[in-house]
Amino acid sequence: MTDRTLDEVFAYKKRIAELESELDEMTIALAQAWDQLVPFLQAAPTQATSTLDIVPVLESIIAAIDARMGGVYLKHDDEWLTIPLDVVNVRDFYKHLDRLESGQIIHMHNIPAWHGRPTHWMFMPILINGKVVGAIGVGLEEGEREFTALDARVLTRMTERAASQIVAANLAESQAREAQLAREVQIASLIQRSIQPLTVPRLPTIEMTAHWMPASTVGGDAWGWVLQPSGQLACFILDVAGKGLPAALGAVSLHTALKMTLHLGLNPVDALATVNNEVYEAYTNAGLLATATVIRIDPNSGEVEHANAGHTPTLLRTGNKWSLWNASTPPLGVLPDISPQCDYRILQSGDLLICYSDGFSEIETPQGLWGTQGLLHAIPDHATSVEFAVQNIIAAVENLPNYGAAADDQTIMGLSFL
């Protein structure tokens, strides 16, 4: 055997000894890690009732792996929930999580963490009945060190043990969120109800009626009226697109703004243009839009001014003939400036004006949407009272075949000149 071969043999033996030593150290470290985990696991409630209950589990994993940070990531209705919040807040991060497969640890590098510095993450999917429902991840500062095979093993075992508890916590949290949502819907409903007028004006030459029927889910319909300083009656109907609290709050702000402008004596065109200007930015930020129709009528002369921003057509019956006043401009909140057109007419005795929300026209019937024609067909030719006409529309809706609960708010407002 040459000297060179002997040197190589010694080198291999030395390397084997080093590896054995490292293996011993790893074994000791593994034992120590498990020792560290036990108190944490005992401290964690066996039946988690909120996501707070899984924080000890997460802390135990971070401690065992000697990581800098960690998070539990749970998939809920196509969205990722994180515990704690905002450990990492990068959209691409969630795209990677979407690709998690069962039993497979994944690594992600250069992920900016909450402190702004790049981090390196290792994730283990959480499996329930073989399906990926989330992941536990631990993070190190980028370049600090690499995750070891032992780290991966600890993460795998801990994730397996914590899975059912984490899912129980997620379920409890979901139920709490649903209860909170139900409370918010109730508040939204109260808000929406509070802005609907309880009475109609009593004027000798004008009959006015209105009906507001909220859907089971809160929408953004509202109506209102104002007697202007000039003695003219101004009234409006509005519909904020959307459901729940955002739509209800949008309806309240729009209702208030329209009432204010009409109290100040503005005509329908200026009222809509002014209010649009005011709400445009807020509606843009909130992703809202609203349709609205404003009508002003002079009780003495029957002179009517009408402006419609994206709302369903107003039905106008003069003599025996029906015509439509369509929107002349897009809904409020869509464009920064609008210039609605003013429709103008002098009403004669017996003429009718009816405005309604899309909760009527978009009712689904076996023949398709009920539409404006549905409303027109529901009004008897001999109807001279607007209350009578509106009652017939409501009765027709209730008698539609297979008609159940309204899918959207239904608001209808009518005027007739006596």
Partner 1 sequence: MELQTKQLNPQAVLIRINGRFDAAVVEQVKRVWIEDETIHFVVADLSETTFIDSIGLATLVSGLKSTRQRGGELILLKPTEPVKVILELTRMNMVFKMAATLDEVEALTKAS
Q: Which of 289, 354, 375, 413 is in the footprint of partner 1 by CB under 8 A?
A: 289
Site map 69..98 versus partner 1, x via CB under 8 A: ---------x------------x-------
Question: What's the min distance (Å) between Cβ of 175 and partner 1?
Answer: 21
245 belongs to the binding site for partner 1 (CB under 8 A) = no
Question: What's the min distance (Å) between Cβ of 200 and partner 1?
Answer: 26
Question: What's the min distance (Å) between Cβ of 362 and partner 1?
Answer: 6
Question: What's the min distance (Å) between Cβ of 412 and partner 1?
Answer: 17
Parallel/antiparallel/unpaired status of strands 221-227 and 233-240: antiparallel
Question: What's the min distance (Å) between Cβ of 328 and partner 1?
Answer: 7
The dihedrals phi and psi of 311, each to the nearest 5 degrees, come to -85, 165
**SS3 readout for 200-215:** CCCCCCEEEEEEEECC
Return the structure tokens found at 70.
């960690």
Site for partner 1 in 308-327 (CB under 8 A): 309-313, 326-327
334 belongs to the binding site for partner 1 (CB under 8 A) = yes
* Candidate segments 120-128, 162-170, 236-244, 263-271, binder of partner 1 by CB under 8 A: 236-244
* Amino acid identity at 213: M
Question: What's the min distance (Å) between Cβ of 282 and partner 1?
Answer: 13
Q: Which of 28, 335, 346, 395 is in the footprint of partner 1 by CB under 8 A?
A: 335
Q: Which of 82, 276, 328, 411 is in the footprint of partner 1 by CB under 8 A?
A: 328
Site for partner 1 in 364-383 (CB under 8 A): 369
362 belongs to the binding site for partner 1 (CB under 8 A) = yes
Question: What's the min distance (Å) between Cβ of 303 and partner 1?
Answer: 25
Nearer to partner 1, 302 or 371 (CB): 371
Strands, DSSP E only, in 66-205? 69-76, 79-83, 106-112, 118-128, 131-141
User: What is the spatial distance between Cα 288 and Cα 301, in angstroms, rounded to a whole number?
Assistant: 38
For the sheet with 118-128, list strands across it.
Answer: 79-83, 69-76, 131-141, 118-128, 106-112
The dihedrals phi and psi of 347, each to the nearest 5 degrees, come to -75, 145
Nearer to partner 1, 261 or 312 (CB): 312
* Candidate segments 98-106, 133-141, 304-312, 379-387, binder of partner 1 by CB under 8 A: 304-312
284 belongs to the binding site for partner 1 (CB under 8 A) = yes
User: What is the spatial distance between Cα 20 and Cα 159, in angstroms, rounded to a whole number?
Assistant: 28
Buried (b) or exposed (e) across 383-399, using 16+ Cβ within 10 A?
A: beebbbbbbbbeebbee
299 belongs to the binding site for partner 1 (CB under 8 A) = no
Q: Which of 112, 265, 330, 350 is in the footprint of partner 1 by CB under 8 A?
A: 330
Considering only CA atoms, which of 314, 233, 327 is closest in space to residue 276?
327
358 belongs to the binding site for partner 1 (CB under 8 A) = yes
CA angle (75 as vertex; 72, 80 as ends), nearest 5: 70
Nearer to partner 1, 231 or 336 (CB): 336
User: What is the spatial distance between Cα 198 and Cα 85, in angstroms, rounded to a whole number?
Assistant: 45
214 belongs to the binding site for partner 1 (CB under 8 A) = no
Considering only CA atoms, which of 141, 144, 142, 108 is closest in space to residue 123?
108
Q: How many residues bind partner 1 (CB under 8 A)?
A: 29
Considering only CA atoms, which of 76, 87, 134, 150 is closest in space to residue 115?
87
- C-beta separation of 98 from 22 below 8 A: no
Q: Which of 71, 139, 197, 242 is in the footprint of partner 1 by CB under 8 A?
A: 242
What residues pair up with 354 in beta bridges, in sequence order?
A: 315, 414
Q: Which of 207, 239, 298, 343 is in the footprint of partner 1 by CB under 8 A?
A: 239
Binding site for partner 1 (CB under 8 A): 78, 91, 239, 241-243, 284, 287-289, 291, 309-313, 326-331, 333-335, 358, 362, 369, 408
